[in-house]
Amino acid sequence: MTEEQLTVGVLGHVDHGKTALVKALTGAETDRLEEEKRRGMSIVLGFAYLETERGIVDFIDVPGHEDFVRTMISGATGIDAVLLVVAADEGIKPQTLEHLAIARLLGIKQGLIVVTKSDLADQSMLDKSLDDIRETVQGTFLENGPNYVVSTINGNGIDELIQALANMIAKKQHRSSADNFYLPIDRAFTIDGSGTVGTGTLRNGAIQCEDEVEIMPAGLKANIREIQVHGHKTTEAFPGQRVAVNLRGIKREQLSRGQVLIKPGSIQETSCLHARLRILDDLPRLPKRNEAIRLLFGTEEVLAKMRIVEGGLEASLLEQGASLLVQFRCRAPVVVSTGEHFIARTCSPVMTFGGGEILDTSEGLLQMSKNALAMHLQKLEQADTGGKVIAHIHAAGTQGISLLGLAERSNASMPEVKAVLDKSKAVLIEDTVVVDSQAFEGLCEAAISALEKFHQQNPSDPGQNLDLFRASCVKSCSATIVEYLIKYLGDTEKLVVTGKTIRLFKFDQNDNISSSDRELIDSIEQVYRENGATTPSLDEVTGQDPDKKRAYQYLKESGKLIPLKDQSGKKLLVFHLDTFEGIKRQLSETYPPPSRFTVSDFRVLTDSSRKYVIPILEYFDRNRITIRDGDFRVLTKAAAAANQLR
């Protein structure tokens, strides 16, 4: 069992002492770049950890400068709680407010207020800062939280803060039990002798050494050679932990910030995201209709356009403080897990105006009406795990949803998903694809209706070409579902597949053949029956006559005529089934197994030439009627026994 762990984001205005605070708590220096040390401020994420008696606290020191808000968001989207850092000698500043707003939008529920640099402020200055802080956090998740006044110079308040952090571990909200892991990469580098390493905060499921991962959106596959947590090697990592993964077979240039590691096949690229968006108060302006905005989640940033999918007129809904269900159309495909939080910013001037949680990533929802989409998203917000599973199955319709994708979108483990399926009427196909029961019934009805129409329009045909039938069905569902559909309807005696033809079970072609067509069919059949093994070619019998060709097609589909290519492979030689049955009887009587015969023996037996006997023998070989051994052949025991039963 893993040690209890809490991931804490250290937020606040530039130069308010976040990095110094983390060093005082952990002893670790999070400023790694020379530029950071020279300028005295963080420009990339910094990481450190603290061991307490109740577990481990991972710190993510996020940049406070306005220019690095994007980096700040990539750190904050994976955290459980925050330390909001405010310098005693300066109080609340613009980035303090923005960081607090972002934490609220990301759904963070826990946090502590830390007043730093107390050694630089007198009591009146400190009191003023505390009053400003209390006013600022009113109505937020920090409203009733205690303030910790500390100094990283003399160490005042540090021990009390460490104890408060340890106590927060016990209050941590447990993450989902999902199996499918999701690891946004925030750093990638090479270690001599080891290879390529990616780091990030692990979301959802656990990872283990030797697990196969998929690097998205590149689609590359790799295996985890080694995992490190807090600088120590481990065989497994869990949700919420800061991890470094050494990937086997991946070059440094193939891995970069903004990519994600996932369980192979669990998340598909999408350009459409559906979410609950919460808009901030006190904004100088709101985005206009069809204005491009920036979405930030994980370590990704993408341009998108927004559509409101609930309520009446969009103009009346897009207002400060509103909470809306929205659809984002991304300019480029993204890979993101459902349940991930995001931040929305305007492009010019750059400003955070809202954020929220991604509820669904399916492009299939684009086919839904606005009202149906709103109802679906509302169900996802209100439902438990089982309800989410059912909602996603229903929304997928006739296209179905993969079992892996269903678990990912529902933030559920595979056992949880299968437990729901066992109680539902959903159709599970090959243990990989799930289809809503009503949608599947609709597919069955549509398939039967299509065949009924075909039979009405082509009464003399034995059935529809199977490949054409498949192609018509694929317009509504995947090839996997089509094959299951055909088998299901065959098993339930709704349709019959014969060779490459499909027909309704109740359809009898003979009931629909006219007397003139019957005469033509009989005449063509008689030609091939009478000529035996010295049969005429198809062109000699049918020519370009469409009626004769249709009659031949009927005989072929019914199995009475067998077409074979001649030795040149250009002409079709057509044999009657009775001819082949007669030849098999002759072989059984003249050359019973294990007797062997040559091509010359076969020519004499059939009173025919090589032009005909070679295609016939090759057909017999393919169908295990005969077995070839060099220049000889032997009739199989099964074929001989079948002739004895006749």
Q: What is the CATH number of the domain that holds 127?
A: 3.40.50.300
Dihedral angle over CA of 631, 632, 638, 640, nearest 10: 140
Question: What would the pLDDT profile of 52-82 be if each residue is shown by its tens digit?
Answer: 888 888 888 776 555 445 665 665 566 788 8
- Is residue 480 domain-resident? yes
Q: In this structure, are 88 and 228 located in the same domain? A: no
- Is residue 291 domain-resident? yes
Q: In this structure, are 134 and 237 located in the same domain? A: no
Q: In this structure, are 499 and 534 located in the same domain? A: no
Q: In this structure, are 192 and 142 located in the same domain? A: no
At 126 the three-state DSSP class reads helix
Q: Quick one: which H or E segment has residue 589?
A: helix 577-590
Q: Quick one: which H or E segment has residue 474?
A: helix 466-474
Q: In this structure, are 50 and 164 located in the same domain? A: yes
Angle at the Cα of 328 from the Cα atoms of 326 and 332, rounded to 5 degrees = 170
Structure-block tokens of residue 100: 């607090």
Q: In this structure, are 54 and 132 located in the same domain? A: yes
Mean pLDDT, residues 306-335: 82
pLDDT of residue 39: 35
pLDDT of residue 510: 58
Question: What would the pLDDT profile of 366-402 be if each residue is shown by its tens digit?
Answer: 989 999 999 999 999 999 999 999 999 999 999 999 9
- How far apart are the C-alpha atoms of 237 and 224, rounded to whole Å? 12
More confident call, 205 vs 446: 446
Structure-block tokens of residue 32: 């790694």
Mean pLDDT, residues 474-497: 91
Q: Are 94 and 43 in contact (CB under 8 A)?
A: no
- Is residue 85 domain-resident? yes
41: left (phi over 0), alpha (psi -120 to 50) or beta: beta
Residue after which a domain boundary falls, among 234, 262, 290: 262
Residue after which a domain boundary falls, among 318, 341, 372: 372
- Please give the radius of gyration of the chain, using alpha carbons only, rounded to the nearest integer: 36
Residue after which a domain boundary falls, among 411, 435, 459: 435
pLDDT band with cut points at 50, 70 and 90 for residue 313: very low
Q: Quick one: which H or E segment has residue 564?
A: strand 561-565
pLDDT of residue 3: 66
Strand partners, 278: 323, 355
Q: What is the pTM of this model?
A: 0.74
pLDDT(215) > 50: yes
- How far apart are the C-alpha atoms of 532 and 555, rounded to whole Å? 16
Percentage of the chain beyond pLDDT 70 is: 90
Backbone angles phi, psi at 503, to 5 degrees: -145, 165
Strand partners, 279: 354
Paired sense of beta strands 561-565 and 181-184, if any: unpaired
Q: Are 600 and 560 in contact (CB under 8 A)?
A: no
- How far apart are the C-alpha atoms of 262 and 220, rounded to whole Å? 11
Q: Residue 235's domain is classified under what CATH number? A: 2.40.30.10
Helical spans, DSSP H, in 284-436: 314-317, 370-382, 385-396, 403-409, 414-423
Which residue segment(s) compose the domain that 636 sits in? 519-645
Question: What would the pLDDT profile of 352-365 be if each residue is shown by its tens digit?
Answer: 899 999 999 999 99
Q: In this structure, are 288 and 188 located in the same domain? A: no
Q: How many domains is the chain built from? A: 6
